[in-house]
Each structure stands twice: as structure tokens, then as C-alpha cells.
Amino acid sequence: MFWAWAMLFCSLAPGGSFAAEKIRIFYSAITGEQSAFYIIKESGMFQKYGLDPEIIYLDSGTIAVQAMLSGEIQLGLLGSTAAISSSLRGSDIKIIAGMINHLTYVLMSDPKINRPDQLKGSKIAIARFGSLSDFGVRLALKRLNVALSDVTLLQLGGGQTARLAALKSGVVQAAIFAPPITRVAREQGFYSMLDMIKEKFEYAGSAIAASGAFLREKPDVAARFMRAYVAGIHYAKTHKEESMRITARYMKLDFNKERASLEETYNIFIQDVVQRKPYPTLEGIQRVLDLIAESDPKAKTAKPEQFVDTRLLAELDRSGVIDGLYK
């Protein structure tokens, strides 16, 4: 039954006769990293492919997973870590598409701290424990050979702007950022301790996740979403000016004053990082498992393949739909 519905709706042309299906979709951060999602939302692709979406902001991966499992929300964009951790605890949450398959963070510090050993004894700002920013800092510290026990991770709500304010005020001595805030921080004199964007460090960052129950019970809706998702990525990649304006609006940036930062964000995330065929990365998922294994022994024997379900995306790929968008 799944494949019958999937094949029908993956080949569905826009403007079909199907009634718009109400669906609740969440996103989990207001950052340049997730800018592709805002662009997809504003492009109108969800409506074009027969969906009537209610888009909800949830800044906690744990809460988002709970909402999916309860059926309150059907699917959405979150850090892969939250989806994988939930699955390890026995849930049926699946990653159905990727968005960010590389770490797109820069660990930045007070300009007086310009060597890894100087981070010892410092406070480093993250969003929440278990968030992508948390795992990004942990990986950065590993690369820099700084023990986690030598620093204090400080949870700060309010997104990257709050972390930048804490760094400026001296509440913390380092923080992790993604574009466009990285550019702002550099212009204000903060030091780039480790640029993980340049390193192209493969890691399962943001991904589209859904519950297995939703995929089984509403395969037609899931297929419409996936068609809209890949079409929205195409829109983002082919509408630079509109995409930058959408990003500026969501991130509350002045389009004219911050154009250089917005262009950097667009070039990094939309043109480079986000893929036309957004398969999740198995190697990146393994890196997530390696980190989780430090506190959860179940992750040591888990296989990356058990956390993904890419049937809908693979059908669009096989049928030529994605390639057709770019011809």
C-alpha cells in the first residue's frame, strides 16, 4: 500500500485535483543553517503540492519528537541527534531526508583567547544540551584536543544573537555560531578558533524526521511533502534575491545593511551545503552515534541504516522528478 500511494503522489503534477491536506510541520531553529526551510515554506511549494500547512516553531528537539510521537505534529526539521536519540530509546522516529550533512559551525572566542589550550577554564555558550550546537561544541573540543571537563557549557535561550551578546559582555569566553552571525562576530573582533565549515566535516546535522506511524497511515501526505520539499530546494537554488530576503525577514536582519552576511549565508547553505537530492548521510549519522555512545551504550551497536527511511526521496530520484526540476 505504501508504495502504491508513494508512486502515485511522487509523480503527481502540481495543480492536481486533490483537496488541500492540513498538516502541521515544525522547525527548530532560527539560523542561517535552517534558512532553506524558511525559503521552502515561503515559496508556496507546500500549497502547490496539495498541502495546507501550519508551520510551528519549536526550539527543543525533545519537545518536537514528543509532539510527533503523540500525533500533534506530523513531521519537521530538527537536529538529527534528537531523532536518533529518540529512536535508540525505542521510538519509531525516522529521518526521511537530510538538509545539513556537514557541520556548519564556527567556534569563536574572545580575541584574547587564540589558542586551544587557553579555552581551559572558560565558559562556552550553546543553545541546549542535546542540541546541534551542543554536539558541535563537543566535536570542536575533540578536534582541538581540549577535554570537555576543562570547560563549562552554558545553555542560553534566545538563539545565536543571545550567544553573541553573552560573548560580548564577557558572560562566556567562547560560543558556537553559524552564518550569518559568524560574519557579524568576526567584524566585531572575535577569534575563529575552529571553522568547521571549511573543514567539510561530515555530520548529520539538520534533517527532516517523521514518525513511522505517520508514514504508514498518511503515505499520500508524506509523499506530497517530499515533492514540495525537493521543489522548494530547487526554488531556493534558483531564486537568490528572493531567498536572501526571506532569510533576512526570519532572522530579523536589515536586508540592505546586512546584505554581505546574507549573501555569505546563501552561498554557504543554499548553494553549497543543501543538496538537490537531500539524502541523509550515513557516515554523518555514524558520527552522531559515536558521540551518543559516550553516554548511551545502545549507540555502540546501532547501525546508521536503522534510523532512516528514504523510500519517498528515492522514488522521486528514480522517477527523474528531481533531475527534471533543473533542466
Give 255-283 pLDDT, tens digit per residue. Answer: 999 899 899 899 999 999 999 999 999 99
User: Higher confidence at residue 231 or residue 182?
Assistant: 231
Say if 2-102+203-325 and 106-199 have the same CATH topology.
yes
The closest alpha carbon to 13, from 326, 311, 324, belongs to: 324
Give 145-172 pLDDT, tens digit per residue. Answer: 999 999 999 999 888 889 999 999 999 9
- Second CATH level (architecture) for the domain 106-199: 3-Layer(aba) Sandwich (3.40)
pLDDT at 84: 95
Pick left, alpha or beta for residue 301 (phi over 0 → left; psi -120 to 50 → alpha; otherwise beta). Answer: alpha
The CATH code of domain 2-102+203-325 reads 3.40.190.10
CA 113 remoteness from chain centre = 29
Q: Answer yes or no: is pLDDT of 132 > 90.
A: no
| C-alpha dist (Å) from residue 164 to 86, 96, 197, 314 | 30, 33, 19, 40
Give 214-246 pLDDT, tens digit per residue. Answer: 999 999 999 999 999 999 999 999 999 999 999
Give 24-79 pLDDT, tens digit per residue. Answer: 999 987 877 889 999 999 999 999 999 999 999 988 888 899 999 999 999 999 98
Q: Answer yes or no: is pLDDT of 12 > 60.
A: no
**If pLDDT is split at 50, 70 and 90, which confidence band does 5 have?**
very low
User: Higher confidence at residue 130 or residue 59?
Assistant: 59
> Where exactly are the structural domains of the chain?
2-102+203-325, 106-199
pTM as predicted? 0.81
Describe the strand order of the beta sheet including 21-27 as a list of residue ranges: 51-57, 21-27, 75-79, 206-211, 93-98
Cell numbers given for 11: 509523480
Q: Exposed, middle or buried, 187 (CB in 10 Å: 0-12/13-18/19+)?
A: exposed
pLDDT at 159: 82
